[in-house]
Amino acid sequence: DSGVTQTPKHLITATGQRVTLRCSPRSGDLSVYWYQQSLDQGLQFLIQYYNGEERAKGNILERFSAQQFPDLHSELNLSSLELGDSALYFCASSVAASGAYEQYFGPGTRLTVT
């Protein structure tokens, strides 16, 4: 158990809908990262928050957004869903914003768009 929690574990929804994925980092970690894992692309970085502030953006679509709340939990919002958005979404946390600190991953949310 990494100490990072994610809900829900599974999500099935239709194209055009909007969903929210939730992540709670390990106790003491201030940085939260979101990654998308699909079969053909591997793990792709989406966005990073540190202590409530957006820190870095990766290959995140404009239809996707995220935020980190004062209690440090984070939410990833996915809207106007398309079939290609079906993937595993992972949240990871680390103690700092940068520096080679290990990132600990949650169990993931499997999103299926039908």
Partner 1 sequence: EDQVTQSPEALRLQEGESSSLNCSYTVSGLRGLFWYRQDPGKGPEFLFTLYSAGEEKEKERLKATLTKKESFLHITAPKPEDSATYLCAVQAVGGSQGNLIFGKGTKLSVKP
18 versus 113: smaller Cβ distance to partner 1: 113
Which x/- pattern, by CB under 8 A, does the window 70-109 give for partner 1? ------------------x-x-x-x-xxxxxxxxxxxxx-
- 71 vs 102, beta carbon nearer partner 1: 102
CB 110 within 8 A of CB 13: no
Q: Does 52 bind partner 1 (CB under 8 A)?
A: no
* Contact status, residue 26 vs residue 104, Cβ threshold 8 Å: yes
Q: What gap in Å lies between CA 27 and CA 68, rounded to an integer?
A: 15
